[in-house]
Chain A
Amino acid sequence: EAGVAQSPRYKIIEKRQSVAFWCNPISGHATLYWYQQILGQGPKLLIQFQNNGVVDDSQLPKDRFSAERLKGVDSTLKIQPAKLEDSAVYLCASRPLRQGLNTIYFGEGSWLTVV
């Protein structure tokens, strides 16, 4: 079974530029998460989708971050304009909708450096 795919793996941009990250979850997984992990901290949930609907985006900085999950499969996370403090790893994760199955699976992450 293929894992969660993310791209690009690494990105360096200047502040005030824009960047987009793409995620393809495991086939059939209805729930998709985007987490931000700053160096030395735990992952912070930015947004959670169930199919193509948003379940939680309470910690998404909506003035600069946006995310979408068209057709309930792939997802894109965009940052515009980027700030220095956005330097982090952006982790995409997915889980199946079946009740009782608690595992979420992480992708390898997209590493962002804002200079």
Chain B
Amino acid sequence: QKEVEQNSGPLSVPEGAIASLNCTYSDRGSQSFFWYRQYSGKSPELIMFIYSNGDKEDGRFTAQLNKASQYVSLLIRDSQPSDSATYLCAGQVDSSYKLIFGSGTRLLVRP
């Protein structure tokens, strides 16, 4: 069973802090990884994706991928209360573009 694992949280950070969300995966053949944000009662929306080892930055968000450790992370700088949501990590496990999701980490940003 190919799995993507996330800590369910909640992860609570003060406004303005850096939030660090982590994800591990079991399939070494996984090619790309995606971070989705999901507000309560809404569908997931894509924040960013990463497929190369290292860091990828987009505004306040930085995704990090370490294929040797099978580890993906998302850093959110200058966290805002509006960032409070569940963050889903997903791995694309083969060339069929099938996405396997983790269970999500709930982030709470305290004003």
> Which residues of A does B touch, CB under 8 Å?
31, 33, 35, 40-45, 48, 50, 55-56, 89, 91, 95, 102-104, 106-109
With A42-B103, A91-B43, A103-B46 known, 6 other A-B pairs at CB within 8 A are: A31-B97, A42-B6, A43-B101, A45-B100, A91-B44, A102-B34
> Which residues of B does A touch, CB under 8 Å?
4, 6, 8, 32, 34, 42-46, 49, 51, 88, 90, 92, 96-104
Contact B49 A107 (CB under 8 A): no
- Main secondary structure, interface of A, reads strand
* Also in contact, A42 and B88, with CB within 8 A (given A55-B98, A102-B32, A102-B34): yes
Expressed in whole angstroms, the Cα–Cα distance for A45 and B97 within the complex equals 12
Q: CB-nearest residue of chain A relative to B46?
A: A103
**Residue in A40, A44, A48, A103 whose beta carbon sits within 8 Å of that of B96 in the complex:** A48
